[in-house]
Homo-oligomer: A and B are copies of this chain.
Amino acid sequence: MTKTAEVILFPRHAKNPAQFRTWLASISSTFKKYLEGKGLNLTHQREEVLKCLLSAGNHMSLDDVYAAAKKKDPTIGRATVFRTLKLLEECGLAAEVGSADGRTRFEIKADRPHHDHMICIECGRIAEFESPMMERFQNKAIRQHKFIALWHRHEIFGRCELCAK
């Protein structure tokens, strides 16, 4: 009976406030650099969206982030949240994730290892999993097809442990 580790959970987000501030500062700085490169600037709205995405949960829909941001700044617009999420995605700091209810979710990618998702069609919960072996065989298939892989999504739908009665 071998001790299988292999698959690792990612209960994420810095719980320690100081740790969180450091993390935010680091990502903020990366975002700022990216924006400056395009002649844009890191406005307080953009920073607010980033902060919300980092703190208010892991797999948030546009409207989740919008709601969270609105609590801090009631004047913020949905369009701005949308545009900021796109910018974050564009520069590789965030990524889109599928979900049980058709709405796309967003997650922070920075400083996080690659992982895929198991999505509960009952409660919507999204569990993260990671399997180096899987990635390995995936890369093998990609190589054999002489395919230039840019990104992938691997999403398993079903019932989570809690919802499986």
Contacts and interface: CB of A to CB of B under 8 A. Distances in A.
A37 to B, nearest CB: 23
A130 to B, nearest CB: 8
A140 B131 CA distance: 9
A137 B136 CA distance: 10
Interface in A1-21: 4, 6-7
Nearest to A165: B148
A93 B122 CA distance: 24
Interface string A147-162: 1111111111111110
A127 B149 contact: no
A141 interface: yes
Interface string A121-141: 100000101010110011011
A137 B131 contact: yes
A148 B118 CA distance: 10
B157 A142 contact: no
A164 interface: yes
Interface of A: 4, 6-7, 98, 118, 120-121, 127, 129, 131, 133-134, 137-138, 140-142, 144-161, 164
